[in-house]
Amino acid sequence: RIVASSEVEQTYIMIKPDGVQRGLVGEIISRFEKKGFLLKGLKLFQCPKDLAQEHYKDLKERPFFPNLIDYITSGPVVCMAWEGDGVVASARKLIGATNPLQAEPGTIRGDLAVQTGRNVVHGSDSPDNGKREIEGELAQWESVQTPWLIE
Binding segment (CB under 6 A) for ligand RTP, from list 24-32, 82-90, 111-119, 141-149: 111-119
Burial class for 63, CB neighbours closer than 10 Å (0-12, 13-18, 19+): exposed
- One-letter identity of residue 130: G
27 near ligand RTP, rule: CB under 6 A: no
Active site residue 122: yes
Catalytic residue among 113, 122, 123, 130: 122
Do 81 and 12 form a contact (C-beta atoms < 8 A)? Answer: yes
How far is 151 from 105, CA to CA, in rounded Å?
A: 30
Burial class for 147, CB neighbours closer than 10 Å (0-12, 13-18, 19+): exposed
Binding segment (CB under 6 A) for ligand RTP, from list 34-42, 80-88, 120-128, 129-137: 120-128
CA trace torsion 93, 86, 129, 63 (10° rounding): -10
Considering beta carbons, is residue 58 or 142 the nearer one to ligand RTP? 58
In the complex, the residues that contact ligand RTP under the rule CB under 6 A are: 59, 64, 68, 98, 116-117, 119, 122-123, 125
| Binding site per annotation, positions | 16, 64, 92, 98, 109, 119
Which residue ranges make up the annotated binding site for ATP? 16, 64, 92, 98, 109, 119
> Which amino acids are annotated catalytic?
122
